């Protein structure tokens, strides 16, 4: 089953939004298969945000990600990467559509409450970056037949 990485950022931890964000993921029908709080450091952030290393806000962004621990989550589902990105909304939360996590919970393009992997390839690398193998759990869902149709289940 496709996996993706979510980080609940320090601004969401400070604002008491951990439960709200986790509840949205669960209500959607995505399955949480890894969940922990962790303190990020410069080493992991240099890797995680390598694509932004030349940007003016790189240091500010990294500092903002170390202010408190983050909540890291591995979630699974059919097309989980694309589905979670749609739920998260645009990077600049002021432009993120109402109904999305950023659109409903943030006013900022930087303090935008959540990270989610942006491609299947990056998701695989990011889950490995934040979780060791024994921190990802595999368990049977008792209600898959009520979450997906028959043709969809055949693809899983």
- For ligand IDP, the binding residues (CB under 6 A) are 52, 57, 61, 91, 109-110, 112, 115, 118
The entry of Mg ion, ligand IDP, none that residue 135 binds, CB within 5 to 8 Å by partner kind: none
Token pair 């202010």: residue:
67
Q: Are strands 3-8 and 70-76 parallel, antiparallel or unpaired?
A: antiparallel
Q: In the complex with ligand IDP, which residue's Cβ is closer, 58 or 148?
A: 58
In whole angstroms, how close is the CB of 118 to Mg ion at the nearest point?
Answer: 5
Verify whether residue 31 is a known catalytic residue.
no
Cα separations in angstroms, 88 against 100, 139, 149: 5, 25, 24
Q: In the complex with ligand IDP, which residue's Cβ is closer, 67 or 156?
A: 67
- Give the pair of three-digit tokens for residue 98: 């109402």
- List the interface residues with Mg ion, window 111-130 (CB under 5 A): 118
Q: In the complex with Mg ion, which residue's Cβ is closer, 118 or 135?
A: 118
CB 33 within 8 A of CB 75: yes
Instruction: Tell me the HSE value of 20 on the side-chain side, using a 13 A CA sphere.
Output: 16
- Residues making contact with Mg ion (CB under 5 A): 118
């Amino acid at each position: 089953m496709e996996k993706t990485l979510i980080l609940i950022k320090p601004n969401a931890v400070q604002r008491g939004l951990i439960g709200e964000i986790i509840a949205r993921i669960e209500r959607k029908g995505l399955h949480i298969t890894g969940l922990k709080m962790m303190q990020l450091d410069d080493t992991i952030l240099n890797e995680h945000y390598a694509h932004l290393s030349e940007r003016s806000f790189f240091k500010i962004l990294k500092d903002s990600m170390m202010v408190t621990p983050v909540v890291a989550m591995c979630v699974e589902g059919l097309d989980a990467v694309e589905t979670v990105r749609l739920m998260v909304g645009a990077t600049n939360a002021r432009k993120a559509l109402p109904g999305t996590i950023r659109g409903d919970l943030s006013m900022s393009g930087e303090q935008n409450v959540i990270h989610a992997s942006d491609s299947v390839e990056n998701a695989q690398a990011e889950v490995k970056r934040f979780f060791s193998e024994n921190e990802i759990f595999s368990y049977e869902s008792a209600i898959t037949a009520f979450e997906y149709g028959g043709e969809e289940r055949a693809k899983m």
